[in-house]
Structure 1
Amino acid sequence: MLLQTGSASAAPSVEDFWTPERMRAAEPLDVLPVQPDDLADVKKGAELLVPPTGAPGTKAFPQKGGAWTGGGKVASTAGRVFFTYQGRQASCSGNAVTSANKSTVLTAGHCVKMDGAWHTNWVFVPGYKDGQAPHGKWTAAKTLSTPQWTASEDINYDVGAAVVNPLDGKKLTDAVGAQGVAFNSGYNKKMYAFGWPAADPYDGTKQIYCSGNSIRDFLLSTDHGLSCDMTGGSSGGPWFQDFNESTGTGLQTSVNSFGYTFLPGYMFGPYFGNDAKNLYDKAQAS
């Protein structure tokens, strides 16, 4: 089956559209019910990064959520994603990965398409800091998702990608660096998850991370799970295994996707299997 793609406006005006004021005011894409066809029960119990209870912590590994102050490559490869969804300005997170075209960003499927429509005015802002774009605003030439997410918004395949246009004569990963990607790497790993949560108690101004030992979802999906209190806006942020805190590098193996309303304080992310790899290959060949 061919991967499904959408058109994300690549006009120069998209970069200008996302002023500091609009970026600060963008609403986190959260508290939206998941509606996958093959997981009907999830409709009653899962939401896309519904804000759980609890405040951000500052403990060492493992921890549920705190500001990333370690610097390294992840401070520039990961960033905030902005787009227009159903007439309102919304936000997610994403990450630049190693790719043949040097222009590929991985994110969540619902961060490129939701409720049957592809988002517009899509832009990636690596290293976002409180309305500022220290590494520029990278407009999407194309957005893509897995066939399962495109057809039925199946939460098991909530993976999206964007191919971004060059900026100031440079390609994305030449400018900000890139993280490696791993597929079919198994479950129950030590993981680090990053994102820009913007729903209470967070405000979207800085990069947040969680770390700990992941689990395989024992409830209704085939996803990874991690103790983490990041909220809406962190969707699409990268999960890494083999992460080195000193260099800020790792192998991306998932993205922030959803949380169960009846299990607060846990984040879930799709397993990067063959379908995620096909998506990645399609994106990097674009």
Structure 2
Amino acid sequence: MSVPRRRGRRTALAASALLAVLALTATACGGSAENKATDRPDATASRAGDDAGGEVRVPADLADRLKDHGIDVDRWRDGGWKDWDKDEWLREARDFVNPVIEGLWKPERMHSAEEAEKTVTTKDASAAQGLSDPEPAPVTAVAEKTPYHENAAPVGKVFFDSPEGPAVCSGTVIKDVNHPGRSNLVWTAGHCVHAGADGGWYRNIVFVPAYNDHGRSEAELSGADPSEIAPYGNWWADWASTSNGWIQGGSESGGAGAAYDYAVLHVRPEQGSQSLEETVGAALDVDFSGPTAAEAGTTGAWGYPAAPPYNGLRMFKCLDTPGRFSLAPNLPDMYRIGCTMTGGSSGGGWFRVAGGETMLVSNTSIGPLDHTWLAGPRLGADAEALYQNMSRTYGGR
């Protein structure tokens, strides 16, 4: 049974502050976001390639990693990445490979991507009922204002290939503490980069910030220039990290890995040389203090829901006061908010205002079959260690 929450003037003011600070963040990183857009990679400059190939750049170290796993580089270039044989599906944390295939992610292919959704059953949701707060009242997702680069510049879409075909999640540009002002880091969900206990790393992982910047309809985008879809170009993950908890315990419904369902990407542009943060003009800090649900205050979730009644073309958001959610007594509790966003919003950042600064505090992980709420992991010491390792090892590339 849903229990509505009281939302007083204080909550409304906190929500307004969150929206205002996020919008300011989008233009506070050295000049306006529109000026930054002029420095973006030329989306039309990518050499066109079909789904089976295209131009592939395979750095020496990546080629060596492929060879270490018995994978022929030329075979991979010619479409060998489509081989999802379970015995050869790269699984371990050190196994990630993701050569750039220019022109693979065309607008039509992006739009065909299926949502990467993790839904829990009523039985799952009630497994640790005594440790969870009452189910929140649904909060109807609201479309973000356009253009997105002025209102939620750090948010975008994460595309990848799975054995079932092209898939899509959401992600957020985050700051790199060891490379200030030049971050190439993106925060998303673990299930958007790795299949969990029954699989391995997904392939052809790309981040597209401010996807469909002006929120055009499908009809309006027919025949549109690629820059309308990807105003800042495509950013390929040259490394990805997710938690051991997700790799070992993640499942189709989230499973025991849901409480550890987070990931960090290090990306590079398909075209261009500036960092992601410099190109987009914004990035958010991550709050690794792991505040309790009661301490988190008003929290907003942003993303691109793609399952009906949404179509993945527009960015949406939900604001609510989170409660505790637990899948089992032996697992860390998660945050839960009311929200009607569906699959495709997975991996999208959850933001809160702390000390006047908007910070990423979680990401969308799981939700119920009726799409009335979302749950995301609390980010603590383990998440911070993963982030710091990514920053120190790959951040300067």
Structure-2 residue corresponding to 1:226: 337
The code of the aligned residue for 1:10 comes to P
- 1:141 and 2:238 matched: yes
Distance 1:74 1:284 in 2: 26
**How far apart are residue 44 of structure 1 and its match?**
9.5
SS at match of 1:139: strand
Within a 5 Å distance, the mapping from 1:160-199 to structure 2 comes to 160-166=263-269, 167-176=271-280, 177-186=282-291, 187-188=293-294, 189-199=297-307
Separation (CA, whole Å) in 2 of partners of 1:7 and 1:218: 30
Instruction: Give 1:276 deviation, angstroms.
Output: 1.1
Which secondary structure does the structure 2 equivalent of 1:117 belong to? coil
Change (3 A) 1:214 1:208: same
Cα offsets for 1:22-58 (capped at 9, x unmatched)? 0111111125679xxxxxx63998xxxxxxxxxxxxx
- Helix, strand or coil for the counterpart of 2:140? strand
The CA distance in 2 between the partners of 1:185 and 1:44, in whole Å, is 23
CA distance in 2 between counterparts of 1:273 and 1:203 reads: 33
Aligned to 2:314: 206
Counterpart residue identity of residue 156, structure 1: A
Name which of structure 1's ranges 98-107 and 216-225 shifts more when overlaid on structure 2: 216-225
TM-score, with normalisation over the residues of structure 1? 0.81
1:148–1:22 Cα change, 3 Å: same
Aligned partner (choices 197, 211, 216) of residue 128 of structure 1? 211
Alpha-carbon separation, structure 1, partners of 2:191 and 2:201: 9
For these two proteins, the number of residue pairs brought into alignment is: 256
Question: Does residue 239 in structure 1 map to residue 350 in structure 2?
Answer: yes
Which one has more relative contact order, counting CA pairs under 8 Å at least 6 apart?
A: 1
Q: TM-score, normalised by structure 2?
A: 0.60
Per-residue Cα deviation, 1:137-187 (whole angstroms, up to 9, x for no partner): 100101110111112221110001110014401111111121111112412
Runs (4+) of structure 1 exceeding 6 A deviation are none
**Any gaps of 5 or more consecutive residues in structure 1?**
35-40, 46-61
Q: Distance in 2 between matches of 1:159 and 1:7?
A: 16
| In structure 2, distance between residues paired with 1:8 and 1:121 | 9
Structure 2 vs 1, CA of residues 197 and 120 (structure 1 numbering), >3 Å: closer, same or farther?
Answer: same
- How far apart, CA to CA, are the structure 1 residues paired with 2:275 and 2:339? 33
CA deviation after TM superposition for structure 1 residue 234, in Å: 0.4
Q: Which whole-Å CA distance do the structure 2 matches of 1:31 and 1:223 have between them?
A: 15
Structure with greater helix percent? 2
How many angstroms apart in 1 are the aligned matches of 2:311 and 2:113? 11
Offset, 1:250: 1.3
Report the 3-state secondary structure (helix = DSSP H, G, I; strand = E; otherwise coil) of the residue aligned with 1:113: coil
Q: CA deviation at 1:8?
A: 3.9
Choose from 90, 96, 99 the match for 1:10.
99
Is contact 1:83–1:89 with CA below 8 Å preserved after alignment? yes
Structure 2 unaligned spans of 5+: 1-91, 128-137, 222-228, 251-256
The answer to whether residue 187 in structure 2 is matched with residue 106 in structure 1 is: yes
C-alpha change, 1:8 and 1:208, in structure 2 (3 Å) is farther
The AA in structure 1 aligned to 2:267 is: V
User: Aligned residue for 2:110?
Assistant: 23
Maintained 8 Å contact 2:161/2:167: yes
Does the CA contact (< 8 Å) of 1:6 and 1:144 recur in 2?
no
Aligned position for 2:199: 116
